Amino acid sequence: MKRFAVVVLGMASAFASLALPAADSPAPVPAMISGALPYVPIHGAAAAPDRSRTYKVIFNVTHAPARPDQPVDGILFAATDLSALRGQGVPGSNTKFAMIVHGPGGGGLGAVDGILSNASYRAKFGVDNPNLTMLAALKQAGVEIMVCGQFLGAMKIDPTTLSPDVTVASEAFLTLITYQNNGYAVLEF
35 inside domain? no
* Residue 3 pLDDT greater than 60, yes or no: no
Report the number of secondary-structure helices (H) and strands (E) in the chain: 6, 5
44-75, pLDDT tens digit by residue?
Answer: 889 999 999 999 999 999 999 999 999 999 99
162 inside domain? yes
Kindly report the CATH number assigned to the domain that includes residue 92: 3.40.1260.10
10 inside domain? no
164-182, pLDDT tens digit by residue?
Answer: 999 999 999 999 999 999 9
31 inside domain? no
What percentage of the chain has pLDDT greater than the value 90?
Answer: 75
Residue range(s) defining the domain that contains residue 159 = 53-188
β 55-61/185-188 pair status: parallel
Separation of alpha carbons 60 and 55, rounded Å: 16
181 inside domain? yes
26 inside domain? no
Domains: count for the chain: 1
Q: Is 186 helix (H, G, I), strand (E, B) or coil?
A: strand
Nearest to 142 by CA among 69, 85, 64: 85
174 inside domain? yes
Q: Radius of gyration (Cα) for the chain, nearest Å? A: 17
User: What pLDDT, on the 0 to 100 scale, is given for residue 110?
Assistant: 86
* Residue 119 pLDDT greater than 70, yes or no: yes
- Model-level pTM? 0.84
138-150, pLDDT tens digit by residue?
Answer: 999 999 999 999 9
45 inside domain? no
User: What pLDDT, on the 0 to 100 scale, is given for residue 25?
Assistant: 75
